[in-house]
Amino acid sequence: MDIKTMLKENNFEFKHKFGQNFITDTNLLKAIVADSNISDDCVLEIGAGAGTLTKEICQKTSEKVVAVEIDKKLKPILEQNLGNIKNLEIIFDDILKIPPQKLKEIFKNKPFKVVANLPYYISTPIIFYLLENNFNIKSITVMLQLEVAKRLTAQVGTKDYGALTILLNFLGEVFLTRKVPRTLFVPQPNVDSAIVRIELKEKDFGVSFEEFSPFVKACFAMRRKTLENNIISAFKISREQFKTTCLNLNINTNTRAENLNIFEFVSLFKELFKNNTKKE
């Protein structure tokens, strides 16, 4: 039975508040899994939907697959579509409300990959949740709104370049693997999408992500403000200290955050906080 018929027979109604846009195109489902480079890896899927992507993932790996789905009304559909799969565990919950330690225990601290067709309205918070909780993640392959995908892969000095761009480059490398037309979803969204793969790997910048992340977010807090004003308003930094540090690092004191590359951000962070200056 095809998924559209299954949804109709179960009287399922799409909920706008959950950002539900299901993939029905088999070639696209296989493309997402191919782009994720799954090969007998444990996998976390966020937003199982009707289980079409879940099934493709489970066919690719014999290791544990955990699918998190917020909409409990999808339970009979997922049971009908995926009931015979032995290596699958479905959790009906909001991924952002699952305690990180619980998720680590589910995977027994083993490394895993993330594969998901993320709801557009909450994709950035989910990515931050995955990055900031010290999970043993090897890679994150997600379907995103095209505009969000552009932010993740943006170049220095462009309007799409922001805190998330910097932090992803701090933790690994980001690849936009393919663009996806809106016509391949049910119901059809108002925007096009893209698949992005984030390869997480250790990089030695000499600072921890936990310390660096709040600093970068503060630098982009108000995009219209200069870097100087954002930092001074967020931290106990004097204007004189900021200007002196920038001159020492050959950074324009009147610049905005989007004009600095990751190495300049790291250097600025180290110089400003080498005396353990604390955020207010």
Q: Which domains does the chain have, with CATH numbers?
A: 3-200 (3.40.50.150), 209-273 (1.10.8.100)
In 141-206, which residue ranges form alpha helices assigned H by DSSP? 146-152, 163-171
| H or E segment to which residue 45 belongs | strand 42-46
Q: Calculate what percentage of the chain has a pLDDT beyond 90.
A: 79
Q: Which two tokens stand for residue 131?
A: 């990055």
Give me the pLDDT at residue 82, please: 92
Residue type, 1: M
Q: Give per-residue pLDDT as tens, 31-54.
A: 999 999 999 899 999 999 999 999
- What is the mean predicted confidence (pLDDT) over 213-228? 93
CA distance 153 to 175: 7
Cβ count near 235 (within 10 Å): 18
For 156-213, strand residue ranges (E) read 172-180, 185-186, 193-200
Q: What is the mean pLDDT of the chain?
A: 92
CA distance 56 to 84: 14
Q: How confident is the model at residue 1 (pLDDT cuts 50, 70, 90)?
A: low
Which residues have CB under 8 Å from 26's CB, separation 6+?
Answer: none
Q: Which two tokens stand for residue 81?
A: 């579509």
In contact, 18 and 42? CB cutoff 8 Å: no
Place of tokens 């893209």: 194
Q: How confident is the model at residue 187 (pLDDT cuts 50, 70, 90)?
A: confident
Residue scoring higher pLDDT (49 or 276): 49
Q: How confident is the model at residue 276 (pLDDT cuts 50, 70, 90)?
A: very low
- What is the mean predicted confidence (pLDDT) over 211-226? 93
- What is the mean predicted confidence (pLDDT) over 99-103? 95
- What is the mean predicted confidence (pLDDT) over 55-80? 94
Place of tokens 């709801």: 119
The dihedrals phi and psi of 148, each to the nearest 5 degrees, come to -70, -40
Relative to beta strand 172-180, strand 193-200 is antiparallel
